[in-house]
C-alpha cells in the first residue's frame, strides 16, 4: 500500500509548523541589533549590529535581577504546587463508582480551562478584591480582618499559585483519568487475589500504570520554568505588587510597548534567552526521565 496519502495528510501540519515555528526564527537576528522598525522590512538588514549589548542591558539593568528571581520563584511554585494536584484528583475520582457524579465533577473542574485569563481574572477580582466576596461575605463569618489580596506583596503570589491551579488542574485530571482507564483490569484482579486493598492497588497498580504519562507531563512542564504566566499576571497585577509579581514577560512588555521608544531588540533578546533556558531544562528532564524511569519518547 502506498504511503503517499499519509504523507499528504501530514503536509498541512508541517506547513503550519514551518510558517509559525521555523520561519520566524530568522527574526532572531533582532536580538543582536538596534532594531529600527520605522525602516520596515529593510530594518533587518539596515539596523546596526550591536552584538550582545541587549543581553548586557537585560542582565545589568537595575530591575533585571528582581524580575528574573520573581520569574523563577513563581514558575517554580506553580510547578511544585500544581503538578501533584491533578494526579491526586484523578486518583480520587477513580474511586467514585457513581458515573453521573463522576462525569459531573469532571465537567465542573474542566470548565475553567476553556475560559481566557481576561475573563477569569475578572472573576478572581470579584472574589478576592478588597470589596469582594471573600472579604465582605466569608471573612466576617470567621471574624477575620479584610485582606487586600491584589495589592499585598505577601498575599499576591499565593493567590497566583492558587488561581493557576484552579484554572489548570481540570485538564490534567482528564489526562490522568484517561491513563488510568488504559491500565489492564487483570492487574487489579491479580492484586485482589493477593489480598491487596484499595490503597495497595493504587500504590502498586494504578500509579505504576500512570507513570509514563506522569513522566511525560513532567518533561513538558519543565520547559515552562521561565513562563510564569504572562496572561494571568498581566490581567491581575498592579504597580503595588511589582516587587514580587513582576516577571520577565511583563517587564519586557512595559519596556517594549509602553515606553516612548519601543525596545523590540530587548524583547527578542529575552525571548531567545528563555528559549535557550527552556531547551536546557527539557534536555535535562528527558535525560533524568530516561535514566530514572526508563522513559523514552521513541
Q: What are the extents of the domains in the chain?
A: 64-292
CA atoms of 251 and 266, how far apart (whole Å): 11
User: Sign of dihedral through CA atoms 210, 215, 216, 218?
Assistant: positive
- Confidence bin at 118 (pLDDT 50/70/90): very high
Largest distance between two CA atoms of the chain: 76
Q: What is the pLDDT of residues 33-89, one digit of tens each?
A: 888 777 777 777 778 888 888 888 777 766 778 888 899 899 989 989 999 999 999
Question: Looking at the whole model, is its pTM more than 0.75?
Answer: yes
pLDDT for 296 beyond 90:
no
CA atoms of 138 and 144, how far apart (whole Å): 9
Give φ, ψ of 49 to 5 degrees: -85, 130
Q: What is the pLDDT of residues 144-197, one digit of tens each?
A: 888 889 988 899 999 999 999 999 899 999 999 988 988 888 988 898 888 888
Number of Cβ within 10 Å of residue 94's Cβ equals 17
CA atoms of 274 and 121, how far apart (whole Å): 25
So what's the architecture of 64-292 in CATH?
Answer: Orthogonal Bundle (1.10)
Question: Residue 251 corresponds to which cell in the numbers above?
Answer: 517587564
Give φ, ψ of 33 to 5 degrees: -125, 165
Amino acid at each position: 500500500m502506498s504511503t503517499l496519502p499519509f504523507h499528504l495528510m501530514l503536509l498541512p501540519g508541517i506547513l503550519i509548523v514551518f510558517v509559525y515555528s521555523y520561519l520566524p526564527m530568522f527574526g532572531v537576528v533582532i536580538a543582536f541589533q538596534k532594531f529600527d522598525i520605522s525602516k520596515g522590512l529593510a530594518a533587518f538588514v539596515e539596523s546596526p549590529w550591536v552584538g550582545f549589548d541587549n543581553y548586557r542591558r537585560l542582565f545589568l539593568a537595575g530591575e533585571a535581577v528582581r524580575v528574573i528571581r520573581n520569574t523563577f520563584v513563581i514558575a517554580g511554585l506553580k510547578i511544585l504546587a500544581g503538578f501533584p494536584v491533578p494526579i491526586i484528583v484523578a486518583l480520587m475520582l477513580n474511586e467514585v463508582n457513581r458515573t453521573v457524579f463522576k462525569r459531573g465533577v469532571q465537567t465542573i473542574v474542566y470548565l475553567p480551562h476553556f475560559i481566557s485569563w481576561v475573563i477569569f481574572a475578572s472573576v478572581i477580582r470579584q472574589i478576592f478584591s478588597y470589596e469582594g466576596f471573600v472579604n465582605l461575605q466569608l471573612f466576617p463569618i470567621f471574624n477575620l480582618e479584610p485582606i487586600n489580596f491584589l495589592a499585598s506583596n505577601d498575599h499576591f503570589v499565593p493567590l497566583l499559585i492558587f488561581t493557576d491551579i484552579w484554572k489548570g488542574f481540570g485538564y490534567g485530571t482528564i489526562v490522568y483519568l484517561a491513563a488510568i482507564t488504559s491500565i489492564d483490569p487483570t492487574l487489579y484482579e491479580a492484586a485482589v487475589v493477593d489480598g491487596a486493598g484499595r490503597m495497595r492497588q493504587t500504590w502498586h497498580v494504578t500509579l505504576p500504570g500512570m507513570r509514563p504519562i506522569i513522566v511525560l507531563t513532567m518533561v513538558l512542564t519543565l520547559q515552562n520554568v521561565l513562563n510564569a504566566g504572562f496572561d494571568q499576571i498581566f490581567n491581575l497585577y498592579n504597580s503595588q505588587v511589582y516587587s514580587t509579581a513582576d516577571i520577565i514577560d511583563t517587564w519586557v512588555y512595559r519596556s517594549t510597548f509602553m515606553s516612548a521608544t519601543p525596545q523590540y531588540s530587548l524583547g527578542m533578546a529575552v525571548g531567545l534567552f528563555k528559549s535557550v533556558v527552556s531547551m536546557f531544562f527539557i534536555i535535562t528532564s528527558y535525560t533524568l526521565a530516561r535514566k530514572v524511569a526508563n522513559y523514552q519518547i521513541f
